[in-house]
Every structure is written in structure tokens, then in C-alpha cells.
A and B are shown apart, each in its own frame.
Chain A
Amino acid sequence: LAKTTQPISMDSYEGQEVNITCSHNNIATNDYITWYQQFPSQGPRFIIQGYKTKVTNEVASLFIPADRKSSTLSLPRVSLSDTAVYYCLVVEAAGNKLTFGGGTRVLVKP
């Protein structure tokens, strides 16, 4: 399984864009990149997934460079309710195990 590294914490202000970069240097050809959001006392919630290039949904965008050794989750115009922990996970296409790393604690300030 590819190991992921992401910043421990980030602070932002309401209305700003937040970008969280995750490193996954030993990602394999068949691996996908997924991101989750977790609020206190709740289980994580799936946000977005990608394989390469850019993916966008109603919540976020995910940018993946050609070498796929990193990915960046972009949260546009954050609000206070976006304060949460964000996890980057690399998923083996045919794998069973799913391990979370430390995540990035994002604090959105008024």
C-alpha cells in the first residue's frame, strides 16, 4: 500500500480557497486516490476520488499531476462548517485493506 504524507494542520478564513497536498511517492499503476472528511465524533465521509489529471464535484476539486506522486484537494470558498480533518488515501484497485493516515486538521476562522 502506498504511504501518504500530508500536513498536520492548516488554518484558513471564511471565503478563502484551501489547498491540501498529499504525497504518495510509491503509488502503483492501478491505485486510485481518494479523500475523506471527518467531523468530531463522526465517521469519515467520502469527498472525491481520482486517478489522474483533474476531477471536480460539487464539494471539491482534486488535482493529480502526470507522475501521480502527489495530489491536491482544493476546497473553494470555505465556510466555518468546513472545519474538519481531511484524509488522503491511496486505494489498491483490487485490494481489500484500507488504511487512513494522520490527516490534515483544517480550521476555518471567521
Chain B
Amino acid sequence: EADIYQTPRYLVIGTGKKITLECSQTMGHDKMYWYQQDPGMELHLIHYSYGVNSTEKGDLSSESTVSRIRTEHFPLTLESARPSHTSQYLCASRAHYRGGKYEQYFGPGTRLTVT
């Protein structure tokens, strides 16, 4: 069972609000990721981090920002939410190479609706 958590699971907010989606993992993984996925569509990598104080943008341009101050915590922030941000946000983590596996673990996701 993966020890990676996301809160909130569901969020409905109005346009213009600032929000932070939380992601935490207790596995000591160096690498963490944020993906955005619309229903029935593919996952798009929006941010990733390979360690504390490292953050990189992914393949999909996103107006969100991330931070990595602690190994276990990788929050994603939207300064001003818009309806176009409505989507599911999935957080993931993986060890560099542990137990011979390049396995990435996913959290349960946050389904965001911006009205």
C-alpha cells in the first residue's frame, strides 16, 4: 500500500481564489511529481522535483507553482483559480532506484472544480 496522501480529495471554489493542493509521502522518496488529468484523457506532467529545493516544470504549461522545502511535502498552488483549471490533480513519488524497481506511487488525487 502506497503511503502518499493528497488533500483535499474534492474541492469546489470560485474564480479568483488562491488554493493549495497538498501532497505528502512517508516513503522518503526523493522524486515527486504533479500530473493533471481530465476525465478520459491522458496524464500531463505539470511539475516535478528530484529533491529538496529542486522544482522543474513539466511538459504541460501550467499557471500553478510548487515548492519542495521538505522531502515528504510537495504542495501545488494556484494563485488565482479559473474555470480552465477544473481537472483532477494527481501527485506521485518514487525512489531513485529502490529494490530494483522504478515504481512510481500515486496518491488518490484531488478533483478540483472552479466555478
Contact = CB atoms under 8 A, between A and B. Distances in A.
Q: Is the interface of A mostly helix, strand, loop or mixed?
A: loop
Interface in A66-110: 87, 91, 93, 96-103
A103 B37 CA distance: 13
B101 A49 contact: yes
B56 interface: yes
B58 interface: yes
B85 interface: no
Nearest to B107: A43
A49 B103 contact: yes
A96 B56 contact: yes
A96 B104 contact: no
Contacts of A42: 106, 108-109
Contacts of B33: 98
A42, A98, A102, A103 — which one has the most chain B CB atoms within 10 A of its CB?
A: A98
B45 A100 contact: yes
23 contacts: A34-B103, A36-B104, A40-B39, A41-B88, A41-B111, A42-B108, A42-B109, A43-B92, A43-B109, A44-B104, A44-B106, A46-B101, A91-B102, A93-B97, A96-B31, A96-B56, A97-B56, A98-B33, A98-B48, A99-B59, A100-B42, A101-B42, A102-B42
Interface of A: 32, 34, 36, 40-46, 49, 87, 91, 93, 96-103
- A-B pairs, 5 with minimum CB distance: A43-B106, A96-B50, A46-B103, A100-B43, A91-B102
